[in-house]
Chain A
Amino acid sequence: MKKLSISMKRRLVQFLSALAINLNLPGFINGNIYTGQLKGICVPVLNCYSCPGALGACPIGALQSSFAARGGKVAYYVLGSMLLFALTLGRFFCGWLCPFGALQGLLHKIPVKKAKIPNSVDRPMRYLKYVMLFVMVIALPLLVRNGVDMSQPFFCKWICPAGTLEGGVPLAIANGAVRSALGGQFILKLSIALLIVTACVLIYRAFCKYLCPLGAFYALFAKLSLYRFKVDAHACIGCGKCAAVCKMGVDPVKTPNSAECIRCGDCIGACPVNAIGRETPFCSRKNTKKENVE
């Protein structure tokens, strides 16, 4: 039996994760969303809770709705959950479990000429996702309030492509009432989603790199997460293959636990001397078997 490469393993896990998180499949046909008790559980990935299949709650959506509610409350349960996710597996969720991340990976496989973004543009743009987190997700819902002391989920309402593509489009197709209520706001959101989709075709994981507030939150704690990568400095021969294969623009030798690393493991597969390994407080595992990158 042919051994699966690390990329193939990851694609399989991504597919299973997307399925598990969106297992309410009848919702896509009925045009309804799941309303059971599981919906109170925050999932560790960006997955709109208005997706007909979604079984859990999007933490970014839940956080904003709490800030936007009357009184502008902090959702300690949501914040605590997000912190637990960040400090345990962190951006591993981005690289292996996020359905929208998986979609971006697939979009990038479309065979068109890819955009080459110079470092002088790419590096500053990486900070945009922190603006999304601190301004659109946190500050605006807390500060911009109407006459009855309520606000709106700014990131969800104006930017989030997951809401449009996972929630809006499937519901518009299957639910007549939703379809009849569509207007300018939907066209605007759809246009933004299509722009992001186009960017993802041209640039690997453009949304993850530049816009995702959940990725930004996990990135803040990247150096502290329990699941980490470690480079054996004695074994490393400085060939640069790990940096060359990294599609997130990380040099694992210089910054093995970079805020931009989504723990995809491609660098582990590319290293010819198995110098890069995975590390948790419980064990330190070098790549003793060759996990090839496709």
Chain B
Amino acid sequence: MRKETGFRLLRTALLTAAAALTVFGLMNGEFQKVLQKAAAICLECIGIG
């Protein structure tokens, strides 16, 4: 029971951290950076670069 409670607390903390990281990253303009990279052919990924 204590173990389950511990898991739940840890999961809640991590979910909060994950949401905070995502929001922080979006506010930092990282969506545009990901978009910029993903919208161009990745030469390394396809075996050219």
Contact = CB atoms under 8 A, between A and B. Distances in A.
A173 to B, nearest CB: 12
Interface stretch (A129-137, A153-161, A210-218): A153-161
Contacts of B33: 66, 75
B34 A178 contact: no
A216 B24 CA distance: 25
Nearest to A42: B34
Chain B: interface residue count, which band?
35 or more
Contacts of A188: 47
Interface string B1-39: 000000110110011011111111110101111110111
- Most B C-beta atoms less than 10 A away, residue of A33, A54, A56, A183: A33
Given A77-B26, A188-B47, A40 B41 contact: no
Given A79-B25, A80-B25, A83-B21, 9 more contacts: A39-B35, A40-B32, A56-B38, A57-B38, A76-B21, A153-B44, A178-B41, A183-B48, A224-B11
A163 B30 contact: no
Interface of B: 7-8, 10-11, 14-15, 17-26, 28, 30-35, 37-49
Contact of B41 (A50, A65, A80): A50
B11 A226 contact: yes
A189 B17 contact: no
B10 to A, nearest CB: 6
Given A33-B41, A57-B34, A80 B22 contact: yes
For chain A, the bracket of interface size reads 35 or more
Nearest to A48: B45
Given A40-B38, A66-B33, A76-B28, A87 B18 contact: yes
A58 B37 CA distance: 11
A160 B25 contact: no
Contacts of B28: 76-77
Interface in A24-39: 33-37, 39
Contacts of B44: 152-153, 156-157
Contact of B24 (A62, A80, A84, A152): A80
Given A35-B39, A39-B39, A84-B18, A171 B32 contact: no
Nearest to B22: A80
A162 to B, nearest CB: 9
A35 B35 CA distance: 8
A267 interface: no
A164 B17 contact: no
A56 B37 CA distance: 11
B37 A171 contact: no
A15 interface: no
A182 interface: yes
A83 B48 contact: no
Contact of A186 (B22, B40, B42, B48): B48
A178 B48 contact: yes
Interface in A130-182: 152-153, 156-157, 160, 163-164, 167-168, 171-172, 178, 181-182
Contacts of B39: 33-36, 39
